A and B are shown apart, each in its own frame.
Chain A
Amino acid sequence: MTRQDICSRLRELMKKSSPRQVDWNAYTEQSGIAGLGFDSLSVLDLIYDVQQAFDLEFDAEELTGIETVGDLVTFIDGKLSAKG
């Protein structure tokens, strides 16, 4: 799966679980996750959706420091590579 594939899939997941009205046309790797409408509760849904969609297992604590879409794409890419 390419980085762009991950980014596109992530956009769909975020669109589904964001509680706010967001201009998804403006979504880029530089977009801040908080700016896309995620708060401490809805981000739990996002983590769950990422785990299910990419068949990954990780602790929420591992996401500490992740602030942008690009950060999250890099994190997922790394987990997928480690999985082989």
Chain B
Amino acid sequence: MAESRRVVVTGLGLVSPVGLDEKTFWGNMLAGRHSIRRLSVLDPTQFKSPNGATVDDQIFSEALEKRSIRPFDRALDMAMLASTCALESGGIECAAEPPRRNMAVITGTGGGVVGNVAESFNRFAEKGLRGVRPTTVIRIINNSISSMISIRFRLTGPNYAVTSACTSALNAIGIGFRMIRDGYIDCALCGGTDAMFIPAIYGAWDRIGAMSENPDPEKASRPFDRDRDGFVLGEGAGMILMETNESAKARGARVRGEIAGYGESSDATHIAKPDKDGQIIALKAALADAQTRPSEIGYINAHGTGTTANDESESQAIREVFGSSADQVLVGSNKSLFGHLMGASGAVETIATIMGLEAGRVPPNLNLDNPDPACNLRFVSGTATDISSPLALKNSFGFGGNNAVMVLRRYEI
């Protein structure tokens, strides 16, 4: 690959249940201070799954106010704040004039602006057509997220939303990575967002039976553990700023990590049941794209939802692709710390992986008291663990049979 087409990460922005700034986020992650609580934004007695991981409303509102972000929809507001932080951390002047040409905005989202959708339906049910806001259309299109980010920051590259359930954010980052590497754009702001703590939506997840029904918030999220019984819903957003290595060097930007390769696939078998064969295709494609062997990978930030089906199929896929190297590579899931951020998970977990490679240390897996024999891998323990390899994988899989895998590298000039 030509030097000019190396794609590096120069800005990180996140809104998560364990922190809305890098320092708080990373401190809580490494210390294993999780954010899973008994539901407070919804009535927990209504649901079989009584726990969730939500963003601190007061800190979030103050952060929006500080940056003059006018609330529009919770998922969009989170993406807007994460984008602002990513550009700030990347040393990019916000809302530059003239417009910043050739920077794309690609936002992944599972539910999209579901808060606005729910509100419009509620108003129609209450008042009929008289209750329909004239600007409803622009409030309920999912690309309002990427569009409003591009408008606020005057970014004139392509903008659109990617929707592939829990794979959305990693797909969005992967698309941006390819666009830069292949020379279509110079830089991209990519990631994901989701905010689904709305009674009808949370109720839908509750009824499909994918969420943990463990009443104890301390123990509910336990990826790869024998006694896991589902994921805990979270909310948040993550956005990363990517550009060519040449561009980063020219402007003296602090490089946080490198995207070394990306692979994706579809199971083409079932809309909700994961299939290891589809995951294997994505894993192999990512490794090939990065021209990397499994033995070179030191850490896998797993999708690791804590559902019986995901953790088992993901473990089998990793073992099959990694062969004997599966006994060496460390595997961890961040979802025991902040739940499943759905369409944002791939972005926030990519950020955690980049920070882990930078620090040479990755966050713990909480509640992995008895690793499931069906998930026969070498897992990160209950405390933060050192890693030495400069290469890591990030997996994201989703309803729809979507699989995405990214190879991340610690930056070396």
CA distance A51 to B135 in the complex (A): 14
Whether a CB of chain B sits under 8 angstroms from the CB of A44 is yes
Whether a CB of chain B sits under 8 angstroms from the CB of A4 is no
Whether a CB of chain B sits under 8 angstroms from the CB of A47 is yes
Whether a CB of chain A sits under 8 angstroms from the CB of B378 is no
Whether a CB of chain B sits under 8 angstroms from the CB of A48 is yes
Q: Is the interface of A mostly helix, strand, loop or mixed?
A: helix
Contact with B along A5-17 (1 / 0, CB 8 A): 0000000000000
Whether a CB of chain B sits under 8 angstroms from the CB of A57 is yes
Please report which residues of chain A, range 8-65, place their CB below 8 angstroms from some CB of chain B when the two chains form the complex: 19, 21, 41-42, 44-45, 47-48, 51, 57
CA distance A49 to B274 in the complex (A): 46
Q: Which residue of B lies closest to A41 (CB)?
A: B135
- B130 touching A45, Cβ below 8 Å: no
- A19 touching B70, Cβ below 8 Å: yes
- The contact size tier of chain A is 10 to 19
- B68 touching A48, Cβ below 8 Å: no
- B70 touching A48, Cβ below 8 Å: no
- B135 touching A45, Cβ below 8 Å: yes
CA distance A39 to B130 in the complex (A): 22
Residues of A close to B68: CB separation below 8 A: 21
- B70 touching A45, Cβ below 8 Å: no
- Counting residue pairs across A and B whose Cβ atoms lie within 8 Å, the total is 16
Q: Which of A19, A21, A44 contacts B134 (CB 8 A)?
A: A44
Residues of B close to A45: CB separation below 8 A: 133-135
CA distance A68 to B134 in the complex (A): 22
CB distance from A82 to the nearest CB of B (A): 18
Please report which residues of chain B, range 48-73, place their CB below 8 angstroms from some CB of chain A when the two chains form the complex: 68, 70
Q: Which residue of A lies closest to B71 (CB)?
A: A16
Residues of B close to A57: CB separation below 8 A: 130
CB distance from B49 to the nearest CB of A (A): 34
- A47 touching B134, Cβ below 8 Å: yes
Q: Which residue of B lies closest to A16 (CB)?
A: B70
Please report which residues of chain B, range 268-301, place their CB below 8 angstroms from some CB of chain A when the two chains form the complex: none
Q: Which residue of B lies closest to A44 (CB)?
A: B134
CA distance A41 to B138 in the complex (A): 10
CA distance A41 to B139 in the complex (A): 12
CB distance from B150 to the nearest CB of A (A): 15
A sample of 13 inter-chain contacts (CB < 8 A) reads A19-B70, A21-B68, A41-B135, A41-B138, A42-B135, A44-B135, A45-B133, A45-B134, A45-B135, A48-B133, A48-B134, A51-B130, A57-B130
Chain B residues in the interface with A (C-beta under 8 A) = 68, 70, 130, 133-135, 138
